[in-house]
Amino acid sequence: MADYQIAPSILSADFARLGEEVDNVLAAGADIVHFDVMDNHYVPNLTIGPMVCKALRNHGVIAPIDVHLMVSPVDRLIGDFAEAGATYITFHPDASTHVDRSLQMIRDAGCKSGLVFNPAMGLDALKYVMDKVDMVLLMSVNPGFGGQSFIPATLDKLREARALIDASGHDIRLEIDGGVTPDNIAEIAAAGADTFVAGSAIFNQPDYAEVIGRMRAQLASI
Ligand SMILES: O=C(CO)[C@@H](O)[C@H](O)COP(=O)(O)O
Ligand SMILES: [Fe+2]
């Protein structure tokens, strides 16, 4: 079986109890903490920044933190998130003036780098930087909010991204973000994803271990 990883999006967690929520979801079997950063400019919502990432590290979180930047400009925040303990820093290529430079800045800061593609955006920006990315993240909803429905056309894009990654020979994770549930996760994995962000599907349930267990059972059935 592929090395599948489940990345709960803390956007849907109870922010008043964030440390406890992250502890609970990791204890329930999650692999990575997905950390959505929104700036009310690139996307029409406003969330959390480096101080909250640092607070989670200080709280004792040792799992990888996957920082999904939905901000423009990008570069100003890279050093702050690296210092705050980010593991991955991913950004939208259309939010950065110099994509190659932003990717290099992330690696130079000691983090893993990634590019994020909105639903209507093609994968062209990947072609010349395959050696500089550790993660490709496909949005399967329009960015800005949790709780939206998975856009089915993303399945074809996953297959396209999987083919590009495999042909590149580089070690690149393929992450999917938006509308992932136990009911569609197997189809999404079959299309090529290996890392699954899920916010509302996990945090809106009373028993995180139960829903993560159902996701893993679906993944094991492929
Ligand atoms: O980046 C985003 C939204 O912009 C996501 O990470 C969402 O937080 C996913 O939420 P669900 O669709 O799983 O509820
Ligand atoms: Fe996200």
Kindly report, residue by residue over 155-189, the tens digit of the pLDDT: 999 999 999 999 999 999 999 999 999 999 999 99
- Taking the C-alpha atoms of residue 103 and residue 105, their distance in angstroms, rounded to an integer, is 5
Kindly report, residue by residue over 30-39, the tens digit of the pLDDT: 999 999 999 9
Question: Would you place residue 47 in the very low, low, confident or very high pLDDT band (cuts 50, 70, 90)?
Answer: very high
| Mean pLDDT for the stretch of residues 186-193 | 98
Out of 6, 40, 65, 200, give the residue to mutate to test ligand 1, the one with the largest number of ligand atoms within 8 Å of its CB: 200
Task: Please check if 200 is assigned to a binding site.
Answer: yes
Q: Which residues line ligand 1 (CB under 6 A)?
A: 9, 11-12, 34, 36, 68, 70, 141, 143-148, 177-180, 197-201
- Taking the C-alpha atoms of residue 186 and residue 205, their distance in angstroms, rounded to an integer, is 20
pLDDT at 2: 81
ipTM of the complex as predicted: 0.99
**Ligand 2 centroid – CA 2 distance (Å):** 22
pLDDT at 1: 63
Which atom from ligand 1 is nearest to the alpha carbon of 178? 12
pLDDT at 15: 98
The model carries a pTM of: 0.98
Does the domain spanning 5-10+13-220 belong to CATH 3.20.20.70?
Answer: yes
pLDDT at 145: 98
Residues marked active site are found at 36, 177
pLDDT at 221: 93
Task: Please check if 68 is assigned to a binding site.
Answer: yes
Question: Would you place residue 215 in the very low, low, confident or very high pLDDT band (cuts 50, 70, 90)?
Answer: very high
Neighbours of ion ligand 2 (CB under 5 A): 36, 68, 177
**Ligand 1 centroid – CA 216 distance (Å):** 19
- Kindly list the domain boundaries of the chain, sorted by start residue: 5-10+13-220
Kindly report, residue by residue over 56-74, the tens digit of the pLDDT: 999 999 999 999 999 999 9
**Ligand 2 centroid – CA 151 distance (Å):** 15
Query: What is the pLDDT of the chain when averaged over all its residues?
Result: 98
